[in-house]
Copies of this chain bind each other. A is one copy, B any other.
Amino acid sequence: MDGSILPIARSTLPEAAAERLRALIIEGALAPGAKLNERELSDRLGLSRTPLREAFRVLAGEGLLRQLPNRGVQVATMTAEEVRHAFEVMAALEGLAGELAAERVTAADLADLRVLQAEMEAAHAARDLPAYYRVNRAIHDRLGAIAANPALIHTCRTFNARLHALRFRSNLKREKWDRAVAEHRAMLVALAARDGTALRDLLNRHLRAKQRAVLDAMANEDIANVLGGTPS
């Protein structure tokens, strides 16, 4: 038998629909607060309402949609309070990821992370924000992979999706950006030293800083439009 033979990826319509809608929500094509019409959406996706409704349940479970009985579903909105709460949890989870990663990290992992760190510094120097966010995400993903805890990774991913759906990444103050890059540098040092506690604390503070940045942005109404704020 050939070991390379693995089960072909069979996907059902609800899964495919959920994946598609998830992407649309995260990238902002479906804005927070938007109401989704079952019939219209099922027509556009080329499936019937039944599998679409199952996809709705999946995404509601992930916090990306909100289902109102007899009144349909809408893309979830988050208040500043909810964002604060989500970041508190994310900080604890990423802290745990750092702790676990410090126990398991290999020389190869460190080498890879140093490459990513260099890319981050380059993106920072070039003031290339999209590249920075891409590398930043790659680094955090890699840390999760090193931590090797699927439950942790899944939970992190879910919270991240909800936050990314807010699209708050539009702007980043120079000073905060500098600090974030410096924090990443310190994290790499702690990881190389296998100092789990230090890494956890660094990640905690790193996420709390991101939390403050996002909340400030929200307070400045840079993204007030996505908060589902219905002016009274």
Contacts and interface: CB of A to CB of B under 8 A. Distances in A.
Contacts of A50: 50
Contacts of A14: 57
Going nearest first, the 5 A-B pairs with the smallest beta carbon separation are A61-B61, A92-B96, A57-B57, A85-B151, A85-B149
Interface residues of A, number: 32
A69 interface: yes
A109 to B, nearest CB: 19
A89 B85 contact: no
A89 B82 contact: no
A231 interface: no
Q: How many copies does the complex hold?
A: 2
Contacts of A69: 10-12, 15
Contact of A155 (B12, B89, B91, B100): B89
A93 interface: yes
Nearest to A94: B92
Given A12-B70, A88-B151, A151-B159, 8 more contacts: A10-B69, A14-B57, A57-B61, A58-B60, A82-B151, A89-B93, A91-B96, A93-B93
Contacts of A95: 92
A82 B152 CA distance: 11
A205 interface: no
Contacts of A82: 150-151
A91 B99 CA distance: 12
Contact of A89 (B10, B62, B151): B151
A38 interface: no
A100 B208 CA distance: 13
Interface in A46-94: 50, 53-54, 57-58, 60-62, 69-70, 82, 85-86, 88-89, 91-93
A34 B50 CA distance: 25
